[in-house]
Amino acid sequence: MAADTPGRDPVETQETLSNLLQETRKFAPPAELAESANVTAAAYEEAAADRLAFWERAAERLTWDRRWDTTLEWNPPFAKWFVGGKLNVAYNCVDRHVEAGNGDKVAYYWEGEPEGDSRTLTYADLKREVSKAANALQELGVAKGDRVAIYMPMIPELPIALLACARIGAIHSVVFGGFSASALSGRILDADAKVVITADGGFRRGAPSALKPTVDEALKECPDVTSVLVVRRTGQEIDFNDRDVWWHDLVDRQSEEHEPVPHDAEDPLYILYTSGTTGRPKGILHTTGGYLTQTAWTHHAVFDLKPETDIYWCTADIGWVTGHSYIVYGPLANGATSVIYEGTPDTPHKGRFWEVVQKYKVTILYTAPTAIRTFMKWGDDIPAKFDMSSLRVLGSVGEPINPEAYVWYREHIGGSRCPVVDTWWQTETGAIMISPLPGVTAGKPGAAMRPLPGITADVVDDQAQSVPNGGGGFLVVRDPWPAMLRTIWGDDQRYIDTYWSRFDGMYFPGDGSKRDEDGDLWLLGRVDDVMLVSGHNISTTEVESALVSHPKVAEAAVVGATDPVTGQAIVAFTILRGSAEESADIAAELRNHVAKTLGPIAKPRQILVVPELPKTRSGKIMRRLLRDVAENRSLGDVTTLTDDSVMNLIATKLPSAKSED
């Protein structure tokens, strides 16, 4: 923002964040869904009348061994929820459904990447496997409070490993299977993990890719790890040493009984390191009672989950928070039937996701804008070949969804009948915070709409004043919420500095937002990415959305590059849709399109057509690197990139990108 941009005086800018994009489309909830929705508009009023009583009722959906004494203890910025309460998270996610007579109900339909490779786990199966794994961890000497690092492909043993830790009160730290040895060792050391759970490898893009060698490499730096538990998935050749033990040797011989002991509501459940798009990874700490309350309630409310009939599929990797909260904890606490898919969307063909939807008759699909834009690029004809009439609710998470991508998702995946819920939240928030409710909200493409009942989010200016309708600024959360991070592992000061110091008494997630004339919220990306053009703070999201609204564009990333005249000038990197030809005048056409859509102030100085964009391993655009390219600097840290050859491809495009005008 202005204050952080060297050489610019913040008072020069009138508004905190410009509001340029006008979007008038609106989709009412389907009548049938609204009639039998799990949550109605009354929830907003109930929560507004008594926020803590609202969260108490949400907590009562769980099974507690001991009821809490105090709902919230708030010593800013440190929160304790359901103080004195005791529960076992794994019991809530697994055993209680078996005890209720639902042991034969499917918890997970697992689909491997190689075709025909699938497994079905009922709740009774899950109880048996989690109990055995919990016994195995105890045999390895893992006790309550110990840290267990998990570095695995998307196989059933992954959620089983998480639940086994939760059952015994060990703290899991999942590291996404695409991370390097040094990223893994850094996280193992920071959390001081004692045991690592991994696999020989996993299937990615049609071939086995190894994981165990990366663990071996990482552990050269980690002398305190005593055991490595290894699942055999691919059967590839790997080194085995004294510390290593096969999952099938250790876990399979364990007893199928394991008594779940109650844990304190504020006992840690897990550490999850943020992906590191920005700086040194932070170990986000989540605890049990509040976290499970909010993940379960939001999963029930935002997806309108009917556990008896729905087949729910979240396409995220369990290595990210979305997988923790909405593949493992939320859905299982609600007794849902979920699909887990091991592989990538284009293996063995680009219709794989839709084939999975058709095969399992998926009713609720939760995916990311990066995937949706990729499907747009591949073409409408691919999903059209599959029967997806089972779908009834669609969700989006991870980045702002461009209005055009939202509309494409709604039409081509949702058959124009399914509401789309754009869910804003973060690793730090633990659960969904801002989202439409599918049976209540008339959704606007690109808007996350309203804070959920019980959440007090707001948009403020530089001076921490709420902006009026029609204004833009910084997103903040005013009151503590049950699933909030409790601290950064081992670093309370960094927790205070990062999240609670920008605005007095408010949580600052680092994102910009605007509030439209109806009071609905539109998330505008990270404030670090905001561009200052001729004294106007312009969000990258709005310019990218304007570009994506052009029929030839599938995906766009824009950055502000230093400019002698305007302070910063907008440089846009675009990927064309499958059907579009790259013509000589495409740049002029797109520049004019943006000027027409948002006004001349947002007209990009340069447009580059590129084959790929640099993305983090979780699929988010890394604008920082594009800024380096646009300013002809050598590239900064590229270690979180999925594929660093992308940057070479982009650099070769640069000379042809002479400024127009």
Annotated binding site for Mg(2+): 548, 550, 553
C-beta separation of 64 from 96 below 8 A: no
Q: Residue 451: how many CB atoms within 10 A of its CB?
A: 21
CB of 195 to ligand ATP, least distance (A): 25
Shortest Cβ 512–ligand ATP spacing (Å): 9
Closer to ligand ATP at the Cβ: 223 or 279? Answer: 279
Q: Which of 95/399 has CB closer to ligand ATP?
A: 399
Our finding on whether 422 is near ligand ATP (CB under 6 A) is: yes
Q: Least separation, in Å, of the C-beta of 162 and ligand ATP? A: 17
Among 118, 209, 277, 344, binds ligand ATP (CB under 6 A): 277
Query: How does DSSP classify residue 633?
Result: P
Looking at the Cβ atoms of 367 and 427, the one nearer to ligand ATP is 427
Residue closer to ligand ATP by CB (options 71, 541) is: 541
Question: Rounded to the nearest whole angstrom, what is the least distance from the CB of residue 448 to ligand ATP in the complex?
Answer: 5
Interface pick for ligand ATP out of 214, 423, 487, 574 (rule CB under 6 A): 423
Across the beta sheet with 393-396, the strand order is 118-122, 106-111, 337-341, 311-314, 364-367, 393-396, 420-422
Taking the least distance from each CB to ligand ATP, the nearer of 51 and 615 is 615
Q: Per DSSP, what are the bridge partners of residue 263?
A: 87
Residues in 388-407 at the binding interface with ligand ATP, rule: CB under 6 A = 397-400
Which positions from 38 to 77 touch ligand ATP by CB under 6 A, shown as an x/- string?
----------------------------------------
The alpha carbon of residue 245 and the mean position of all alpha carbons in its chain are separated, in whole angstroms, by 32
Closest CA to 396 of 445, 351, 360: 445
- Binding site membership for CoA: which residues? 204-207, 322, 534
| Alpha carbon 323 to its chain's center | 8
Q: Residue written as tokens 């000497």?
A: 141
E-state strands within 76-212:
78-83, 86-87, 106-111, 118-122, 147-151, 171-174, 195-199, 201-204, 207-210
CA 235 to chain centre: 31
> Residues forming the annotated binding site?
204-207, 322, 398-400, 422-427, 511, 526, 534, 548, 550, 553
Specify the stretch interacting with ligand ATP by CB under 6 A; choose among 67-75, 115-123, 268-276, 291-299: 268-276
Angle at 152 between CA 129 and CA 280, to 5 degrees: 130
- The answer to whether 274 contacts ligand ATP (rule: CB under 6 A) is yes
User: Nearer Cβ to ligand ATP, position 135 or 423?
Assistant: 423
Structure tokens at 421: 């819920």
Of the candidate residues 27, 151, 424, 489, the single one contacting ligand ATP (CB under 6 A): 424
We find the least distance from the C-beta atom of residue 136 to ligand ATP, in angstroms, to be: 30
Query: Which stretch in 217-225, 301-309, 424-432, 552-560 sits in contact with ligand ATP by CB under 6 A?
Result: 424-432
Residues in Cβ contact with 190 at an 8 Å cutoff, skipping those fewer than 6 apart: 273, 281, 283, 489, 490
Contacting residues for 286 by C-beta, under 8 A, at least 6 apart:
268, 269, 270, 271, 272, 430, 483, 485, 486
For ligand ATP, the closer of residues 360 and 406 by Cβ is 406
Window 502-541: contact mask with ligand ATP (x via CB under 6 A): -------xxx-----------x--x---------------
Q: Least separation, in Å, of the C-beta of 399 and ligand ATP? A: 5
Q: How far is the CB of 525 from ligand ATP (least distance, A)?
A: 6
DSSP state of 99: I
- Cβ at position 616, least distance to ligand ATP in Å: 6
Question: CA–CA separation, 213 vs 244, rounded Å?
Answer: 12
Dihedral sign of CA atoms 114, 120, 125, 127 in order: positive
| Residues 304-363, interacting with ligand ATP (CB under 6 A) | 320-321
Looking at 135, 254, 275, 287, which residue binds ligand ATP (CB under 6 A)? 275
Whole-number minimum distance, CB 282 to ligand ATP, in Å? 7
Measured CA to CA, the distance from residue 401 to residue 370 in angstroms comes to 9
Based on CB atoms, which residue is closest to ligand ATP, 312 or 425?
A: 425
In whole angstroms, the minimum distance from the beta carbon of 444 to ligand ATP comes to: 13
Contact window for ligand ATP (CB under 6 A) among 109-117, 190-198, 416-424, 500-508:
416-424
Pairing of strands 70-75, 487-488: unpaired
Residue 593 burial (CB count, 10 A): 19
Strand stretches in 169-281, DSSP E: 171-174, 195-199, 201-204, 207-210, 227-231, 244-246, 263-264, 268-273
Q: Which stretch binds ligand ATP (CB under 6 A): 148-156, 273-281, 331-339, 642-650?
A: 273-281
Q: Tell me, rounded to whole angstroms, the distance of Cα 72 from its chain centroid.
A: 26
What is the rounded distance in angstroms from the CA atom of residue 228 to the CA atom of residue 566?
56
Q: Give the Cα separation of 250 and 229 in Å (integer).
A: 8
Q: Over the range 326-360, which residues count as b (16 or more CB within 10 Å of their CB) and which as e?
A: bbbbbbbbbbbbbbbbbbebbbeebbbbbebbbeb
Task: Take residue 422 and report the two structure tokens written for it.
Answer: 């754009």
Instruction: Restricting to residues 440-499, name those near ligand ATP by CB under 6 A.
Output: 448
Report the nearest approach of ligand ATP to the CB of residue 298 (Å). 13
Q: Which residues are annotated binding-site positions for ATP?
A: 398-400, 422-427, 511, 526
In angstroms, rounded to a whole number, what is the distance separating the alpha carbons of residues 233 and 144? 28
Could you give the string, one character per residue 586-625, with x where binding to ligand ATP holds by CB under 6 A and - elsewhere? --------------------------------x-x-----
Q: Which is nearer to ligand ATP, 229 or 434 (CB)?
A: 434
Q: Which segment (13-21, 129-137, 348-356, 422-430) binds ligand ATP by CB under 6 A?
A: 422-430
Hunting for tokens 């663990």 — which residue is that? 215
Angle between helices 289-302 and 51-59 (to 10 degrees): 90
- 472: phi > 0 → left, psi -120 to 50 → alpha, else beta; which? beta
Handedness of CA 183, 369, 20, 44 (dihedral sign): negative
Number of residues located near ligand ATP, criterion CB under 6 A: 24
Interface residue with ligand ATP among 29, 77, 178, 276 (CB under 6 A) is 276
C-alpha span between 652 and 658 (Å, rounded): 13
CA distance 145 to 141: 12
**CB 343 to ligand ATP: min, Å:** 21
CB 243 → ligand ATP: shortest distance, Å? Answer: 30
DSSP H or E stretch at residue 572 = strand 567-576
Q: Based on CB atoms, which residue is closest to ligand ATP, 114 or 510? A: 510
Shortest spacing between CB 9 and ligand ATP, in angstroms: 27
From 182-190, 224-232, 379-387, 418-426, span contacting ligand ATP (CB under 6 A) = 418-426
Among 337, 427, 487, 574, binds ligand ATP (CB under 6 A): 427
- Judge whether 617 and 275 are in contact, CB under 8 Å: yes
88 binds ligand ATP (CB under 6 A): no
Q: Which residues bind ligand ATP (CB under 6 A)?
A: 274-278, 320-321, 397-400, 422-424, 426-427, 448, 509-511, 523, 526, 618, 620
